[in-house]
Amino acid sequence: MKTNYIKRIRIVYSLYGGILLICCGLFFSNIISSEDTPQVGGIASHDSDYAFTITNLIAAGPLNTDEHPIENTPAGVKAHAHISHFDMDFYTRDEAIRNDARIGWIVALQAFQIVCFAAIIVLVVITLISFYRSAKNGHVFPERKITLLLVIGILLVVSSLSTDTGTYLERTLALDLLRDTQWKPEAHYTIHFTRIFFGLTLIFLSQIFRIGRELQEDHELTI
């Protein structure tokens, strides 16, 4: 019976290791990222020229290769800057731009991220308290707490993917508006590696705890 549990643990470890190797490969091929993501903010009412702001856009084409001189440096010192990220404020009364469907989706995804983050914080606190109380009572792998870990991991992955999707929509919106300028940003879909990593770790850790709990129960029955 114990051999079956060991096999299940090895399967979980193998799956986890395989996913992490794939993530590492995607990371080094620039398909996934650990960088901060842009945010759409400051969406204004229709009686103003100001429309919205998009922050932390990744600079493409000549911006990230051209040197921009930095003025007022100390005597005898020259400095140049290379722009890799930039923020943009958009001003327009064009209803088609103000009512772009992507803006609605971006706002909805950002609201969803906030809800997920708040839920994660609450669940983490509940989990820590529950594990402490269970440990005092001699229950190392309580089922309810294992489920909480699983839910937290899933929320991290889902919220991360929603953030990445919102980021992609923001980049495509900015690219459409700046396509004919030297400020054209990159607009490819990237996955945030750090959040996905911690989410997957909690998911697989919960399964290891579940196997440990079942092993503990079997051991107690045989005594």
- Cβ neighbour number for residue 123 with a 10 Å cutoff: 15
Q: What is the pLDDT of residues 58-84, one digit of tens each?
A: 888 777 778 888 888 898 899 988 888
Q: If you average pLDDT over residues 30-50, what whole number do you get? A: 58
Per DSSP, the residues of 61-116 read GGGGTS-EEPPSPPTT---EE---EEEEEEE---HHHHT-HHHHHHHHHHHHHHHH
Res. 175 pLDDT band, cuts 50 70 90: very high
Res. 134 pLDDT band, cuts 50 70 90: low
The answer to whether position 62 is within a domain reads no
The pLDDT, as a whole number, for residue 173 is: 93
Q: If you average pLDDT over residues 125-150, what whole number do you get? A: 73
The answer to whether position 48 is within a domain reads no
SS (H, E, C) 158-182: HHHHHHHHHHHHHHHHHHHHHCCCC
The answer to whether position 64 is within a domain reads no
The pLDDT, as a whole number, for residue 5 is: 59
The answer to whether position 11 is within a domain reads yes
In this predicted structure, the answer to whether residue 38 has a pLDDT above a threshold of 60 is no
Res. 136 pLDDT band, cuts 50 70 90: low
Q: Which residue has the tokens 């600079």?
A: 59
Res. 42 pLDDT band, cuts 50 70 90: low
In this predicted structure, the answer to whether residue 46 has a pLDDT above a threshold of 60 is no
The pLDDT, as a whole number, for residue 176 is: 92
Domain count, the chain: 1
0.75 surpassed by pTM = no
In this predicted structure, the answer to whether residue 139 has a pLDDT above a threshold of 80 is no
Residues 72, 74, 79, 83, Cα dihedral to 10°: -50
The pLDDT, as a whole number, for residue 220 is: 65
In this predicted structure, the answer to whether residue 98 has a pLDDT above a threshold of 90 is no
Calculate the average pLDDT of the chain.
79
The pLDDT, as a whole number, for residue 127 is: 77
Question: What range does the domain containing 141 cover?
Answer: 2-32+99-222
In this predicted structure, the answer to whether residue 33 has a pLDDT above a threshold of 70 is no
What does the alpha-carbon distance between residue 182 and residue 145 come to, in Å, rounded to a whole number? 53
Q: What is the pLDDT of residues 185-216, one digit of tens each?
A: 888 888 777 788 888 888 888 888 887 777 76
In this predicted structure, the answer to whether residue 166 has a pLDDT above a threshold of 80 is yes
132 or 45, which is more confident: 132
The answer to whether position 66 is within a domain reads no
In this predicted structure, the answer to whether residue 44 has a pLDDT above a threshold of 70 is no
